[in-house]
């Protein structure tokens, strides 16, 4: 069982434009679609599409459109009832896959609701193989929320004597929550750092600098130089994170563990929408990991999932049979 946790879920509306976005002008959409979204929700949707057992933990009123969409799609979920409506995010896609996103901040949850949400996750995470902490945090959440939840998950497994110990934990976020998850300044003897981190190139650049990586590089430079991306990810691994799966857009992805580093690339696809492609990549990695695949083959499936997602409209997620892992090229890299 893979449990995903989305503190700030959304209704994702995708508006497809017939040409480039023209600021200040009136444009007519080619199509409009909507899906229940948020990073963790998207991972659960992709896993469910491939027949993998999953449950999405999130806040939301029973009548909220986000929960209605999950019920319609047959995605199992556990929701903490709240009074505020969940946010709506809008993505504008241009021909060729260029995407502009406008994300709302999300509802404000009280301290009691935050604690209840953690308790719901701890309950649903019992016996899980992975817990995925994903996405932005709603207004008012502390920046170190993910590090705190990670420690709570590990303490809970230890206190209960759970068979197999604590679940593996992955974090896919950005900004202050991502930085805090990696820094984990707590004096607790139980680490709040994740077993797997999934940044994009921009986030990797920020994390590597924070981890003391000697060379400061931009996201564009990391995407253009996979060896540099691997070295940056290695700096994050040395800081105590188990592994880094860094997605590099159309350039593929790198995976760095304590034992090695690999680059995976996929032949170019006709990009339709990049919304959710990174989330699908994480789902592909988890799917392969659950089947006992070696790290390089987990990376292979991650890139195959991401490429398939980019070729689909809106925030549509691919099933494993829609992916082409045999088309992915794996190259071993230096990580120092």
Structure tokens, 277:
């492609």
Q: Is there a contact between 304 and 320 (Cβ–Cβ < 8 Å)?
A: no
C-alpha distances in angstroms, 180 versus 5, 80, 254? Answer: 17, 25, 22
Tell me the C-alpha distance between 155 and 323, whole Å. 37
Task: Kindly state the DSSP code that residue 191 receives in the 8-state scheme.
Answer: -
Phi, psi of 331 (to 5 degrees): -130, 125
Give me the helices (H) in 184-270, please: 201-210, 219-224, 226-238
CA 19, chain centre distance (Å): 29
- Give catalytic residues, as residue numbers: 279
CA distance 215 to 229: 11
DSSP per-residue string spanning 85-118:
PPEEEEEEE-TTS-EEEE--------HHHHHHHH
Burial class (CB in 10 A: 0-12, 13-18, 19+), 268: exposed
């Amino acid at each position: 069982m893979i449990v995903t946790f989305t503190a700030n879920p959304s209704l994702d509306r995708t508006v497809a434009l017939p040409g480039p976005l023209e600021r200040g002008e009136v444009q007519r959409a080619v199509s409009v679609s909507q899906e229940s979204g948020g990073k963790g929700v998207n991972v659960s949707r992709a896993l469910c599409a491939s027949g993998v057992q999953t449950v999405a933990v999130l806040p939301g009123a029973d009548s909220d459109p986000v929960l209605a969409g999950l019920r319609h799609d047959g995605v199992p979920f556990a929701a903490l009832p709240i009074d505020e409506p969940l946010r709506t995010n809008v993505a504008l896609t241009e021909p060729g896959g260029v995407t502009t996103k406008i994300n709302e901040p999300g509802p404000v949850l009280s301290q009691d609701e935050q604690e209840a949400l953690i308790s719901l996750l701890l309950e649903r995470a019992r016996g899980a193989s992975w817990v995925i902490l994903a996405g932005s945090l709603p207004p008012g959440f502390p920046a170190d929320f993910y590090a705190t939840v990670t420690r709570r998950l590990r303490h809970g497994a230890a206190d209960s004597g759970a068979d197999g110990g604590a679940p593996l934990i992955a974090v896919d976020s950005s900004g202050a929550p991502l930085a805090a998850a990696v820094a984990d300044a707590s004096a607790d003897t139980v680490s709040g750092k994740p077993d797997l981190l999934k940044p994009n190139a921009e986030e990797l650049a920020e994390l590597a600098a924070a981890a003391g990586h000697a060379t400061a590089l931009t996201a564009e430079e990391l995407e253009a130089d996979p060896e540099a991306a691997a070295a940056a990810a290695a700096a994050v691994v040395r800081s105590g994170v188990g592994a880094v799966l860094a997605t590099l857009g159309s350039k593929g992805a790198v995976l760095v563990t304590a034992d090695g580093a690999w680059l995976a690339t996929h032949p170019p696809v006709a990009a339709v929408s990049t919304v959710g492609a990174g989330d699908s990549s994480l789902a592909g990695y988890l799917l392969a990991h659950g089947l006992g695949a070696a790290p390089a083959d987990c990376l292979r499936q991650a890139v195959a999932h991401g490429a398939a997602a980019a070729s689909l409209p809106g925030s549509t997620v691919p099933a494993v049979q829609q992916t082409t892992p045999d088309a992915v090229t794996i190259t071993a890299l230096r990580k120092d």
